[in-house]
């Protein structure tokens, strides 16, 4: 990614921007990109799953500030949180983590979104919501288009996240209708890359860490379930383009990589890239785990002139290199 809009114009705009969830995987990449683009960035995070380490390169930058705050608690625009643009990314994204305290997850999605919308209204800010492909649940349509309304369990262990995110979308569109709030909603599909946590339970990080340690690699079910994995730089470019799009374009818009791959194929590619001696072990599928997931990105192509550029192999190579450095500098790699 070269930080250009439609490939030709450099963005250097000294905007005041707030990023909730700024110490998380996507949030930290977004903060870095926005600072690079010349914005004055405040990252807001309760550090539930995020880490200050992700922000190390930005700490001390004159245009960057970190504020520890839980978005379930109200935000005050007078407390130095005025912004022209707000990105709401705060919410634990890994099922293993958001299921630890499902009520908190739901409250982060709903009360948190409401607090961020109130702040946007008070500041007159444009506000972005990090929604998710999980709003489609176990999809009956393939690939998933934005018009598809989803098949989501209201009572399963993933509902706190899936239904929370659905409710957040509803709040965004109600604020748009009631208060003319300038909203942008992206439905993000599986994204991976450097700065994912080593132990967050997501499939890419799990498999890479197990492969690098030559430990058995966990495949849920027979591994024939599909996912489409988007490299983080591509995703961030999509988010930035959506935020820069004309006000009439609110979304929801799918952002993800439409190249579908089975989990088994993903594991094999990781073994090839790492040269691992790991073997695959099969475990039961988690409850309500979707069997197929693939975005239709025609709308993003048309409205944002956006599509992913980084191939799965290239993205995995970059991600493996980062995990390798992390493992070398921290815990010792076992079995090496």
- Interface region with ligand NAD, contact rule CB under 6 A, candidates 148-156, 187-195, 257-265, 311-319: 187-195
Whichever of 128 and 278 has its CB closer to ligand NAD, that residue is: 128
Question: Residue 115 interacts with ligand NAD (CB under 6 A)?
Answer: no
C-beta separation of 29 from 196 below 8 A: no
Q: How many CB atoms lie within 10 A of CB 186?
A: 25
Shortest Å, Cβ 161 to ligand NAD: 7
Catalytic residue among 161, 175, 192, 231: 161
Q: Does 70 bind ligand NAD (CB under 6 A)?
A: yes
Give the integer Cα–Cα distance in Å for 18 and 324.
32
Question: Do the Cβ atoms of 303 and 249 come closer than 8 Å?
Answer: yes
In angstroms, the Cα distances linking 115 to 109, 121, 323 are: 10, 10, 35
Cα 38 → chain centroid: 22
Distance CA 56, CA 62 (A): 13
Q: What's the gap between Cα 107 and its chain centre?
A: 18
Size of the site for ligand NAD (CB under 6 A): 28
Q: Which DSSP state fits 263?
A: H
With CB under 6 A as the contact rule, the residue among 58, 90, 123, 310 that binds ligand NAD is: 90
Residue 120 within binding range of ligand NAD, rule CB under 6 A = no
In this complex, which beta carbon is closest to ligand NAD, that of residue 72 or of residue 167? 72
- Measured from the CB atom, the residue of 91 and 183 that comes closer to ligand NAD is 91
Question: Which are the contacts of 28, defined by CB distance < 8 A and separation ≥ 6?
Answer: 22, 43, 50, 54, 55, 58, 195
Could you confirm whether 161 is annotated as catalytic?
yes
Q: Taking CB under 6 A as the rule, does residue 37 contact ligand NAD?
A: no
Q: How far is CA 31 from CA 35, 90, 101, in A?
A: 6, 13, 27
Q: Pick from 37, 46, 306, 323: which binds ligand NAD (CB under 6 A)?
A: 46
A 10 A CB-CB count for 198 gives 14
**Cα angle, residue 329 at apex, residues 315 and 92 outer, rounded to 5°:** 55
In degrees and rounded to multiples of 5, residue 316 shows phi and psi of -65, -40
Does 112 sit near ligand NAD (CB under 6 A)? yes
Q: Does 47 bind ligand NAD (CB under 6 A)?
A: yes
Q: Least CB distance from residue 149 to ligand NAD, whole Å? A: 18
Identify the residue among 35, 83, 91, 114 touching ligand NAD (CB under 6 A). 91
Contact assessment for residue 181 and residue 117, using Cβ atoms and an 8 Å cutoff = yes
Let me know: does 268 contact 262? Beta carbons within 8 Å.
Answer: no
DSSP 120-136: HHHHT-EEEEEEEGGGG
User: Binding string, 124-163, against ligand NAD, x = CB under 6 A?
Assistant: ------x-x-------------------------------
> By C-alpha distance, which of 92, 93, 83 is closest to 34?
83
- Sites for ligand NAD among residues 48-67 (CB under 6 A): 48-50
Q: C-beta of 105: minimal distance to ligand NAD in Å?
A: 8
Of 130 and 316, which has the nearer Cβ to ligand NAD?
130
Q: Which is nearer to ligand NAD, 278 or 326 (CB)?
A: 326
Of the candidate residues 19, 37, 42, 108, the single one contacting ligand NAD (CB under 6 A): 108
From candidates 31, 86, 92, 294, binder to ligand NAD by CB under 6 A: 92
Q: Quick check: 191 binds ligand NAD (CB under 6 A)?
A: yes
Binding site for ligand NAD (CB under 6 A): 20-21, 23-27, 45-50, 70-72, 89-93, 108, 112, 130, 132, 188, 190-191
Q: Which residues are known to be catalytic?
A: 161
């Amino acid at each position: 990614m070269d930080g250009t809009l439609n490939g030709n114009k450099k963005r250097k705009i000294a905007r005041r921007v707030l990023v909730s969830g700024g110490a998380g995987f996507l949030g930290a990449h977004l903060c870095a990109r926005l600072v690079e683009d010349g914005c004055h960035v405040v990252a807001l995070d309760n550090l539930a799953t995020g880490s200050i380490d992700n922000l190390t390169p930005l700490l001390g930058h004159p245009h960057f500030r970190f504020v520890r705050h839980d978005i379930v608690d109200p935000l005050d625009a007078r407390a130095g949180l005025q912004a022209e643009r707000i990105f709401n990314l705060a919410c634990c994204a890994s099922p293993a983590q958001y299921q630890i305290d499902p009520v908190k997850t739901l409250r982060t999605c709903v009360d948190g979104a409401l607090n961020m919308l109130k702040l946007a209204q008070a500041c007159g800010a444009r506000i972005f919501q990090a929604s998710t492909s999980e709003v489609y649940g176990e999809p009956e349509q393939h690939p998933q288009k934005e018009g598809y309304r989803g098949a989501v369990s209201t009572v399963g262990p993933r509902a706190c996240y899936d239904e929370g995110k659905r409710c957040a979308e509803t709040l965004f569109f109600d604020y748009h209708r009631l208060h003319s709030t300038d909203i942008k909603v992206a439905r993000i599909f599986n994204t991976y890359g450097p700065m994912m946590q080593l132990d967050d339970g997501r499939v890419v990080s799990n498999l890479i860490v197990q492969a690098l340690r030559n430990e058995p690699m966990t495949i849920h079910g027979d591994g024939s379930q599909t996912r489409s994995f988007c490299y983080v730089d591509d995703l961030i470019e999509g988010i930035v383009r959506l935020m820069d799009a004309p006000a009439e374009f609110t979304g929801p818009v799918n952002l993800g990589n439409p190249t579908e791959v089975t989990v088994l194929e993903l594991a094999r590619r990781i073994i090839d890239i790492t040269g691992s001696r790991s073997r695959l072990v099969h475990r039961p599928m988690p409850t309500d785990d979707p069997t197929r997931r693939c975005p239709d990105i025609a709308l993003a192509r048309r409205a944002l002139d956006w599509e992913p550029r980084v191939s799965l192999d290239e993205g995995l190579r970059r991600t493996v290199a980062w995990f390798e450095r992390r493992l070398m500098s921290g815990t010792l790699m076992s079995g090496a």
